[in-house]
Amino acid sequence: MSLYQIFFLILVYLISSIPFSLLLAKVFNGIDIRRFGDGNPGAANAWHYGGKIAGLLGLCFDISKGSIPVLVAQNYWRDSELVLALAATLAVSGHAYSLYLNFNGGKALAVTAGVFLALSGYFFPLLWLFIVGVCCFFDIPFVEGVVMTLILVIIHTIIVFKSWYLSLGVITISLIVILKHLKVLSLALKSNFSLFRKITHLILPKTNNFPE
């Protein structure tokens, strides 16, 4: 790996670590959104507590954090699957574990959507919206729709790209997103609306896997 590539990857992490939604909420409303809701410094909290403009701009910045590094890697180092995989992973890692927030950060949904947008065009972001929409219609917890989409992205990456670097990168990104949603997922699995819970009870009807 060249010095230019290493410098680029370091820059990806440093820029992705910038908590744009947090900063925008402070600029537009003078508040620290980490003190509200679930304490998340991402675009969702900015939208709800920092104002619609801060939330919308924060969302755009977060999506760009994921898409721009991937597009740059694809254009400048077309033959390096390692640089592409690392750029995608570091973009999500920087947002989720920000250097400027003592390695805390957002839940990384928007930046992950940006990565998928650059990797596969509009297909997976639209699939993500479709799955989440279906989940909302049938009262299935939102976080389970996120997990289902991530599983499909992993399968698609392994089959279509046939790149171990990229497959491991997408798996790592998916694990980061799931870890960031672990508390919410744990609560969702206890819900009577949980699709995962219902499937588990169908497969193992006599096993009480999730507490009532």
Residue 149 lies in a domain: yes
Instruction: Indicate the number of domains in the chain.
Output: 1
Residue ranges in the chain assigned as alpha helix (H): 3-16, 20-29, 43-49, 52-76, 81-96, 109-120, 123-137, 142-156, 164-180, 182-188, 195-203
Among residues 16, 36, 183, the alpha carbon closest in space to that of 86 is found at 16
Residue 210 lies in a domain: no
User: DSSP of 100-150, one letter per residue?
Assistant: GGTTB----HHHHHHHHHHHHTTHHHHHHHHHHHHHHHTT--HHHHHHHHH
pLDDT tens digits, 148-190: 888 888 888 888 877 899 999 999 999 999 999 888 888 887 8
Residue 208 lies in a domain: no
Residue 211 lies in a domain: no
Q: Quote the pTM value.
A: 0.85
Find the domain containing 146 and state its range. Answer: 3-93+102-203
Tell me how far CA of residue 156 lies from CA of 130, 141, 161, in angstroms: 17, 23, 8
Residue 209 lies in a domain: no
Confidence bin at 203 (pLDDT 50/70/90): confident
